Amino acid sequence: MRKNSDIAFSTVLVAIFAFILFNGLTMDVRTRAFPVAVSAPMLALALFNLGRVVWASYGRKIGPAPELAGVTAPSEELTGSERLAALATAGRVEVDAATTRKRVVNILLWMAASFVLLWMIGFREGLPVFVFLFLWRESKDKLWFAVTLGVSTWLALQLFFGYFLNYPWPAPQIALWLGFDWPGIR
């Protein structure tokens, strides 16, 4: 039953991204830049996932599961999804309710902060700042690593969407409130 729902979900994702891609191709050049740039790689990933799920469900049998955290899954011949289920249950870790609540609140706060940041200073500047802050403060990565990935995120957005696709970045809310032109906004 589980393999059928996985296949159905993956098929729906393929259909959605294919629909967005082919509708985006009918738009004018400036309008189609964003839907095509997002849906083309997502369609490729969805097709890969569909193939992976179908292969795991109906493909060859996979041998005995390896050890995971000192616990061995059943050693009889299992299909891919059965093996994954056995490995998932073998490595279970119990987490108390207080820790779970703390983690959920932390995740929700980071999500809210990212939305506010993207709205206030725009996507092009907000996403690199968020990547930097999350890596440095939450993930406790080294400062040089957080700065490198933040700058790399900004460069990827600027080069790919700014120069390659000529994406017209919308003005951030702070620029609208203060009434000034934000650099690089068309």
pLDDT at 169: 74
Q: Domain residues of the chain, as ranges?
A: 2-90, 97-178
- What pLDDT digit, counting tens, does each position of 157-178 carry? 888 887 777 777 777 888 878 8
Q: What's the longest Cα–Cα distance across the chain? A: 68
pLDDT at 55: 85
Give the chain's residues under pLDDT 70. Answer: 1-2, 59-93, 182-186
| Tokens coding 142 | 């080294």
**pTM confidence score:** 0.53
| Tokens coding 53 | 């799920």
Helical residues (DSSP H) of the chain, grouped into ranges: 2-24, 29-58, 80-90, 97-121, 123-133, 143-156, 173-178
How far apart are alpha carbons 87 and 92 in whole angstroms?
A: 9
pLDDT at 128: 92
The length of the chain in residues reads 186
